Structure formats: C-alpha cells, structure tokens
Amino acid sequence: MRFGAPRTDNERLGDTSYKHAFVDNKPVPKPEHKTWVMRPRDRSKEIGPEFRFNSNLQVERIMDDLQAKTGFYFD
C-alpha cells in the first residue's frame, strides 16, 4: 500500500494497468444489440408488486412534484 504519489512514470503506468486489468477490451463476435438476447417478459411469473421509488430528500420531492406538474419539457 502506498499513500503518496507515484515516484516514477513506470510506477504510475504499472498501477494503472493493474487497476484496469479486469476490463474486458476484446471485441464481441456479434454486435451489442444482438448479444443481449433476452426472453420475453411474462408478468404472470413475476414475484411481488412493481417497484416504486419514494424520494427521501426534500429536494427530490420538490423535483418530483415539479416534473409531475410541468412534464418533461423543461429538462
């Protein structure tokens, strides 16, 4: 563990390559819109009610109220 800045460029490049080693940078054989093939939605097999978001902060409540009244024209 090191808490300071890297001392050399090689050290900086080594840290960067270590941090980004998990990224998959190989191209996929198919385009992305064909790779994500999912089964059609069947509502009868879903568990529980639909998810609803409740805002916790006063700012979120105000923004939700404004968007409900004015629509999304002013975004």
53-74 pLDDT, tens digit each? 788 889 988 888 888 887 656 5
Decide: residue 33, CB within 10 A, 0-12 exposed, 13-18 middle, 19+ buried.
Answer: exposed
Average the pLDDT over 35-55 and give the result.
Answer: 81
Global pTM exceeds 0.85: no
Q: Name the residue with tokens 């808490």.
A: 3
Rounded distance between C-alpha atoms, residue 56 and residue 52, angstroms:
13
